[in-house]
Structure 1
Amino acid sequence: MTALQGTLNFIYGIFFLYLACYYNYFYKSFFKIANRIFCISIGVQLFLNMYPILLNNGLSFYLAKEYSNTLIGNSNAVSFYFGFSLIYEFISKGKFWKFFMIFNTLCLILTLSRGGFLSVAISLIIFIILSLFNKNLIKISTYINFLIAIVIISITLYYTPIGKELFESLQLGFKASSIASRNILHEQAISEIISKPYGNGLVWVNDPHNFILRAFRDLGLLFGIIIILLFIYPMKYFISKNIIIYNNEILAVLLGYLTIIIHSLFEIYYFTSITLFYTIFILVYLNISIRKFENNLKER
């Protein structure tokens, strides 16, 4: 069965790769529009499912997590998409970007994903550092928008009833026993890697919530390192000489994808059809955007 799952994912991957290449190459705004529609669809589901619990006092972390589900996964699963989109909208600044940035921020808060908040925070810090050196970023407006976003989020979490409940639940979440249980899953995965260095095949039992350990455990040391390198290869652009001249769109996708990589070190991602499609969708668009940017540089 695990071989069948792997074969199907491979077939899906080829199909998704074709679609991503075709639409992202021939339709300039396809990526932005498609991503917004996708996030709105799961964001509405998330709100409708959590609405009953948001009306009640005494919101608990685990109760909130139980209600924060959608048709494509639970809160931890969908938080990846909101984290990416939040960063993408904030940096790319396309039409109506403020609305979609606020929307994705609220949805990320509703997921109560600790890994989501951490990955977004790290990407924002890196973006601020890059903005000090990048020649194409308008620094003053970027910093002002960043401060305004922090103020809005702070007011929402500290001074609104729903925000207070969510913030308290998030605080409890960081103290939850699930964090300690991840260490046990990591130890089990490492033990399996040592005992079966050739891999177990794609299995979903005792997922280590770390895509590097998952890759080595399921695919083995050889193919594990190959798939890891394929997923993290875009990080090479951070050390490219063009990083100081990349435009907002490229930096938005690059830093947005960084949130996924960081987040996948703490939560389950990759190895499913929906995450495979989303990853291919992002990486194809990033590659096309960089190629077009570099070709324009050569023509000048």
Structure 2
Amino acid sequence: MIFLALSLGTLTSLSFSGFKYKIHVAEVIIPLIFLIILIQSWKMGTKLQLSKAKGMFYLCYFLCFIYSIFTYYWSDLGISVIAGSINLFFGLVTFLLAEYCFKYNPDSFITANRILIISLLIQLALSMFFGVELKPTDLETEYNDFYSFKVTATTLLGDSNYIAFFFGFGLLYEFIAKDKGWILFVIINLLGIMLTISRGAIISIAFAFFVYLYIMLLNSKVKMITKIIIFCNSILLLGSFFFFFQYTEVGITFWNGLLLGLGDSSMNSRQYLWDEAITQITLQPFGIGIVTVNIPHNVILTSIRSLGVLFGTIYLLLLSFPVFYLLKCSISHLSNKRLAALIAYLSVFIHSMVEVFFFDTESIIWSAMIISFIFANSQQLVNQANKEENCQCLNSL
């Protein structure tokens, strides 16, 4: 229900003293579900138990939330920074909500994410092929063929570059995890990527996929037969892409449009935003608050610009936790599902280096669910590893 609500975007908006805040469907659903779970837990006498790592993580996130409120007192942007603080608040609530959701069934995240992907693809189809205007678009502006196509790729959740994050994550996860029905959802996510024509998504997916190949092929604990299967599947996949883009009419059109898009001025505009963000950080090292004004399309610069050098770095470390976990954890202790989630999240994090993510309500809620999904099994994996080590010690005795 939460992920379906995410796909529906904004419900309405409120205005107060020149301050306008968009109320999202998920912001209505999440408090209701959280309240129901709290009442049920109180009746059953269930207590929330957190490991030290989780407790420290949530404490740091809470401090970032509190600090984002205090930026109001020195930010030139006034009360508009409160909207960003509300976003972090919903992220905090989502983390706590996920503790209960994933306690007994962590894999429910997979079903929920598939519902989100299906909803987005249906909305894309309605927008691009049936002329349904889900969000206002500037169709009167003259674009080249590349952007004429992209501008129609809109959903209630966001435009083409934004929703490409979700399709990119889904594509990598489904391909690596190979849950029941994975082939269908690989196709669905691949179709979504093609319709959005997001260059950032394509590059980040390719980078994360090669990281996956490197991990699997060079890891001594992975069986040789598994390496051969992975290598053959990868060659088959790359060969299919090459054939599609070079020898099919649709693929050639898509590829030419992509190359044309690479020559536009979007990187120049990003460079301007990056330079402006660096200047703002220099002038205000304590942060200007989480706002939507000239967001620098880079998670590092946005974090530090928004929350200052100290708390911006802390928030960035919280977001990059799955990346560090991927590098630290032994692959032999990761199931396909956990490895798939980590690799897929890596693509999202890389993609956020050139696009806006992790600072609006939907992306904060969604990423909180992903991190909680990884967290829900990390302790279990550690316990399993310790158990195996103890068994080996007993056997040696």
> Which bracket does the TM-score occupy, shorter chain normalised?
over 0.9
Which residue identity is paired with 1:183?
Q
Pair 1:243 & 2:331 matched: yes
Partner of residue 175, structure 1? 263
In 1, distance between residues paired with 2:220 and 2:334?
Answer: 7
Displacement after TM superposition at 1:10 (Å): 3.1
> 2:320 aligns to what SS in structure 1?
helix
1:255 aligned to 343, 358, 367, which one? 343
Q: Following the alignment from structure 1 to structure 2, what is the Cα–Cα distance between the partners of residues 217 and 189?
A: 6
Shift of 1:28: 4.2
State the match for 1:130 in structure 2: 215
Task: After TM superposition, list the pairs within 5 Å mapping 1:11-160 onto structure 2.
Answer: 11-51=89-129, 60-132=145-217, 133=219, 135-136=221-222, 138-160=226-248
| 1:102-152 CA-partner distances (Å, limit 9, x unpaired) | 211121121111110110000111111101206356222222222222233
Contact 1:110–1:166 (CA under 8 A) maintained in structure 2 = no
d(CA) in 2 for partners of 1:18 and 1:241? 24
Structure 2: distance between partners of 1:106 and 1:15: 33
In the alignment of these two chains, the number of paired residues is 296
**In 2: Cα distance, 1:188 partner to 1:231 partner:** 23
Cα contact 2:95–2:368 (8 A) shared by 1 = yes
Q: What is residue 308 of structure 2 aligned with on the other side?
A: 220
Contact kept in structure 2, 1:119 and 1:259, CA below 8 Å: yes
Shift of 1:186: 0.8
Following superposition, the deviation at residue 244 of structure 1 comes to 4.6
Distance 1:59 1:102 in 2: 28
Taking the aligned partners of 1:28 and 1:220, their CA distance within structure 2 comes to 34
Deviations 1:203-243 (A, max 9, x none): 21221110111111121112111111111122222332513
C-alpha separation in 1, matches of 2:365 and 2:373: 12
CA distance in 1 between counterparts of 2:111 and 2:190 reads 18
Structure 2 SS opposite 1:69: coil
Structure 2 CA distance for aligned equivalents of residues 208 and 154 of structure 1:
34
Q: 1:50 to 1:156 in 2, by over 3 A?
A: farther
Contact 2:342 2:374 (8 Å CA) reproduced: yes
Higher helix share: 1
Q: Flag the 1:59–1:40 CA change in 2: closer, same or farther, 3 A.
A: farther
SS of residue in 2 equivalent to 1:73: coil
Question: Gaps (5+ residues) in structure 2?
Answer: 1-78, 132-142, 389-397
Query: With structure 2 as the length reference, what TM-score do the two structures score?
Result: 0.71
Moved more, 106-115 or 260-269: 106-115
Name the structure 2 match of 1:8.
86
With structure 1 as the length reference, what TM-score do the two structures score?
0.92
Q: Does 1:281 align with 2:359?
A: no
Structure 2 counterpart of 1:226, which letter?
A: I
Which position in structure 1 is the counterpart of 2:48? none
Alpha-carbon separation, structure 2, partners of 1:220 and 1:294: 34
- Is the 8 Å Cα contact of residues 106 and 373 (structure 2) preserved in structure 1? no
Residues 178 and 241 (structure 1), Cα distance of their counterparts in 2 relative to 1, 3 Å cut = closer
Post-superposition shift, 1:166?
Answer: 1.8
Deviation digits for residues 9-48 of structure 1 (CA, Å, limit 9, x no counterpart): 2331232112222222211430111111111110221133
Q: Measured at CA, do residues 83 and 271 of structure 1 come closer, stay the same or move farther in structure 2, by a change above 3 Å?
A: same
Q: What are the superposed Cα offsets for residues 226-272 of structure 1, whole Å, 9 maximum, x if unpaired?
A: 11111112222233251354221121111111011100000010111
Q: Distance between the aligned counterparts of 2:312 and 2:106, measured in 1? A: 34
The ranges of structure 1 where at least 4 consecutive aligned residues each deviate by more than 6 angstroms after the TM superposition are: none
CA 1:103 to 1:151, structure 2 compared with 1: closer, same or farther past 3 Å?
farther
Paired with 2:356 and 2:99, the residues of 1 have a C-alpha distance of 26
Name the residue aligned to 1:201: 289
Q: Which of 65-74 and 287-296 deviates more?
A: 287-296
Distance 1:45 1:123, change over 3 A: same
The answer on 1:231 being equivalent to 2:319 is yes
> RCO (CA 8 Å, sep 6+): is it higher in 1 or 2?
1
Cα RMSD, aligned residues only: 2.0
| Aligned residue identity for 1:109 | M
Q: Evaluate the alpha carbon distance shift between residue 169 and residue 134 of structure 1 in structure 2; reply closer, same or farther with a 3 A threshold.
A: farther
Give the drift of 1:59. Answer: 8.1
Secondary structure, aligned partner of 2:274 = helix
